[in-house]
A and B are shown apart, each in its own frame.
Chain A
Amino acid sequence: MYSRAYKAAVALPPLFWVALFLLLPYSLLFAHSFWSVASGAIVRQWSLHNYAELAHNWMYAQVLFRSMKIAGAVTLLALLLGYPLAYYLSFCAGPQKQLLYQLVIVPLWVSYLVRGYAWKTILGSDGVLNGFLQYLGIVSTPVEFFLYSPFAVVLTLTHIYTPFTFLPLFASLEHIPRHLVEASQDLGASPRVTFWRVIFPLSLPGLLAGATFAFVLTLGDFLAPLLVGGPSGIMISNVVVSLFGAAYDWPLGAAISVCMLLLVVGILFAIERLEKRWSFH
């Protein structure tokens, strides 16, 4: 048995950490969302004014909805790319598994910004892709929707977040007992039936975890719209950035952040329940 002092000594640092870096900032954010700004200073008077503004001005809901649409598209694409990749690595790659796994992870070592700028170089009017298409004679003038468009935002974010869907998918596929797959085959199930009746249901927790990563991280993204997004593609975090960074309306920015936080926590709760229901233990 550990002594009480030992237990306290072990528990204190993480508690301190959580209090200082999670509870305190979140409380500050929460408090700010009820305050207001008057003549360039934050006034600590409690009111629901900011939330009323969010409910009343439907621009915010519109941008949030657009962000969710982009996040949904990115999640879907990242899963469509990540799942076959994870499946191949787990079931078919053989001795190359480790090497391929590292290759999937390598892009994560490159800074987000560098990857954003790389897409700019590829997709631009003078970019690699347009140059190639013009060289082949497929188009005569540069295709403009490649860059500074919702398309560019979805593409960039999909590239960035596919490894995040791949990792949990790969982990859950690796954990599927191979004798279950063999049993299915021995009992005469075709590969397709084995996949849909055995492998896919068992990979659902990984799928959910990957989808959550992609959706939540995309929803809060502001760099991709800034770098490769068009004049009409801003996402909800860009609104928060401009409220904090230009308009000095921290309270309204905080109110949006609190709403986002609640939305994300809600999603996480729902996913956790689904995961419990679908996991095979």
Chain B
Amino acid sequence: MKRAALILLLALAVAAMTSCSKQKAVTLSLLVWEGYADPSFVRVFEETHQCKVVASYMGSSDELVAKLRGGSASNYDVISPSSDVATTIAGSGLAAPLEMSRIPSYPQLSQKLRELPLVRINGKIYGVPFMWGPNPLLYDTSALSRPPESWSIFWDKKYRGKISVWDDLSTIYMAAQMLGFDKPDPGALYNLTDEQLEQVRKKLLELKPNVRKMWATGGELTNLFQNHEVVAAMGWPLMTNQLRKLNYPIGETIPRENTTGWMDHLMVTAASEHKELAHAFLEYMIQAKTQKLLADVTGYVPANPGAAALMTTDEKKSLHLDDPDAYMARIYFWQDVPRRNKYNEVWNAVKAAQ
């Protein structure tokens, strides 16, 4: 009797497996930042292209590079590297040069972004500009009635155990800004000397008693606010957006020291087996209509200015599309960090310290 039951079970399992393989919809795998695969826009693509879009999320630029280099490049078709690692990825053969004829909406994208040298190598284009934004200071408006004017509140004894910072090099840049290393040239943040990094390390060690938890994913920081574990943090506009939708009293500001930020590109991996579909996805993602939906979800600024035509005045204002240049001037966009290993070493030392 037992054996009969077992055979039945096996037969069922085999039947289930074969019935799955019959449908065999193509799967497009993404390794992107959180918010870039929301069903509100991905579903339409899945339906029109008869495919399935599966997204994994990355917690930092370093994670993306380490995953691609570690041999999982073939697991992903589309990636969304930021301005700090885009050139590295394009230059190391991990991404495929794009066939621009398959991306007809490309000329609609902001000329300023298209002309950046980030993803152009030997005359080939490896990525399409996608979204950009800052790493703003998020704060709980029920704990801080006025927007903090400076990142220095992170060091304020009043907020001991109430601060969260990103488990990412961005926190190093922020500390370096506090030490004034961004003057006169903000680009210096991405090429600090050993001596400056040592000062940054000390500055961050002073910050540690105030840090409740370092966040590694966007969802984690949202939870930290919701559970009243922290009252201020460095985050992304995505989290502000998500917390506002939950009616959480969240404020977002760029303090007087300004902040770092990123320009994300979409790329197709060199190892992708669905390059045609991946190009179609890139095209879909930069169309004005999709970019508007993306801005709704993330609160990031779309690379396609056409998206603004689909927005209300308030929406445009909240994305600073009424004066994008002034907004951009307050963001020191991530750049390639030549000594990224050294930066990571300093960051690890900060994390490992008691």
* Chain A residues near B (Cβ < 8 Å): 37, 40-41, 59, 62-63, 66, 124-127, 142, 144, 147-148, 226, 230-232, 234, 238-239, 242-250
Are the CB atoms of B348 and A247 closer together than 8 Å?
yes
Are the CB atoms of A125 and B352 closer together than 8 Å?
no
| Partner among B60, B62, B69, B351 whose Cβ is within 8 Å of the Cβ of A231 | B351
In this complex, which of A62, A142, A232 has the most chain B Cβ atoms within 10 angstroms of its Cβ?
A232
Are the CB atoms of B63 and A245 closer together than 8 Å?
yes
Please, which residues of chain A bring their CB within 8 A of the CB of B348? 59, 239, 242-243, 247
In this complex, which of B60, B67, B92, B353 has the most chain A Cβ atoms within 10 angstroms of its Cβ?
B353
Instruction: Give the residues from 51 to 93 in chain B that come closer than 8 angstroms, CB to CB, to chain A.
Output: 60, 62-63, 65-67, 69-70, 88, 92
How many A-B pairs fall under 8 Å by CB?
74
* 11 A-B residue pairs with CB within 8 Å: A40-B88, A59-B348, A59-B349, A66-B354, A124-B229, A125-B229, A238-B351, A246-B62, A246-B344, A248-B65, A250-B70
| Partner among A59, A142, A147 whose Cβ is within 8 Å of the Cβ of B352 | A59
* Chain B residues near A (Cβ < 8 Å): 60, 62-63, 65-67, 69-70, 88, 92, 161, 208, 211-214, 216, 227-229, 341, 344-345, 348-349, 351-354
Q: Determine how close the nearest CB of chain B comes to the CB of A41; give it in whole angstroms.
A: 8
Are the CB atoms of A148 and B70 closer together than 8 Å?
no
Are the CB atoms of A232 and B62 closer together than 8 Å?
no
Please, which residues of chain B bring their CB within 8 A of the CB of A231? 208, 211-214, 351
Are the CB atoms of B88 and A248 closer together than 8 Å?
no
Please, which residues of chain B bring their CB within 8 A of the CB of A238? 351
Q: Determine how close the nearest CB of chain B comes to the CB of A32; give it in whole angstroms.
A: 12
Roughly how many angstroms separate A144 CA and B228 CA in the complex, as a whole number? 11
| Partner among B65, B67, B70, B354 whose Cβ is within 8 Å of the Cβ of A232 | B354
Q: A124-B227, A239-B352 are in contact. List 18 more A-B contacts (CB 8 A).
A: A59-B348, A59-B349, A59-B352, A66-B354, A126-B227, A147-B229, A148-B213, A148-B229, A231-B212, A231-B214, A244-B66, A244-B70, A246-B60, A246-B63, A246-B66, A247-B66, A247-B341, A248-B69
Q: Closest 3 A-B residue pairs measured CB to CB?
A: A246-B62, A248-B66, A231-B211
| Partner among A126, A148, A243, A246 whose Cβ is within 8 Å of the Cβ of B228 | A126
User: Given known contacts A125-B229, A239-B348, is B212 in contact with A248 (CB within 8 Å)?
Assistant: no
Roughly how many angstroms separate A239 CA and B344 CA in the complex, as a whole number? 11
Please, which residues of chain B bring their CB within 8 A of the CB of A243? 348
Please, which residues of chain B bring their CB within 8 A of the CB of A125? 227-229
Please, which residues of chain A bring their CB within 8 A of the CB of B351? 231, 234, 238, 242
Roughly how many angstroms separate A242 CA and B62 CA in the complex, as a whole number? 9
Roughly how many angstroms separate A247 CA and B349 CA in the complex, as a whole number? 13
| Partner among A40, A226, A239 whose Cβ is within 8 Å of the Cβ of B69 | A40
Roughly how many angstroms separate A66 CA and B351 CA in the complex, as a whole number? 13
Roughly how many angstroms separate A153 CA and B314 CA in the complex, as a whole number? 46
With CB as the reference atom, state the residue of chain B lying closest to A62: B352
Please, which residues of chain B bring their CB within 8 A of the CB of A126? 227-229
| Partner among A59, A148, A245, A246 whose Cβ is within 8 Å of the Cβ of B212 | A148
